A = this chain, B = another copy of it.
Amino acid sequence: METIIVIKIGGNIIDDKNALAEFLSDFAAIKAPKMLIHGGGKLATQLSKELNIEPQLIDGRRITDEKTIDIVTMVYAGLINKKIVAQLQANDTNAIGLTGADANIIEAHKRIHPSIDFGFVGDIDSVNADFLLELISKNKTPIIAPITHDKKGNLLNTNADTMAAAIAVELSKVKKVSFFYCFEKDGLLKDVNNNESIISKLTIAEIEQLKEKQIINAGMLPKTANIIHALENGVEKVILCHAKNVRSIVNENAKFGTTFTKN
Q: Which residues of A contact B (CB under 8 A)?
A: 50-51, 70, 73-79, 81-83, 85-87, 89-90, 94-99, 101-104, 134, 138, 140, 147, 149, 151-155
Chain B residues with CB under 8 A of A96? 98, 102-103
| Copies of this chain held together in the complex | 2
Chain B residues with CB under 8 A of A77? 77-78, 81-82
- A157 CB to nearest B CB, Å: 12
Complex: how many Å from CA A51 to CA B48? 10
Decide: A149 near B89, CB < 8 A? Known: A97-B101, A104-B94, A155-B82: yes
Chain B residues with CB under 8 A of A51? 50-51
Which of A50, A70, A140 has most B Cβ within 10 Å?
A: A70
- A89 CB to nearest B CB, Å: 6
Contact of A152 among B83, B90, B138, B153 (CB under 8 A): B90
Complex: how many Å from CA A154 to CA B85? 10
Chain B residues with CB under 8 A of A75? 74, 78
- A78 CB to nearest B CB, Å: 2
A-B contacts, 7 listed (Cβ < 8 Å): A73-B78, A76-B78, A85-B99, A89-B101, A89-B104, A95-B102, A103-B140
Decide: A86 near B50, CB < 8 A? Known: A73-B78, A78-B77, A103-B94: no
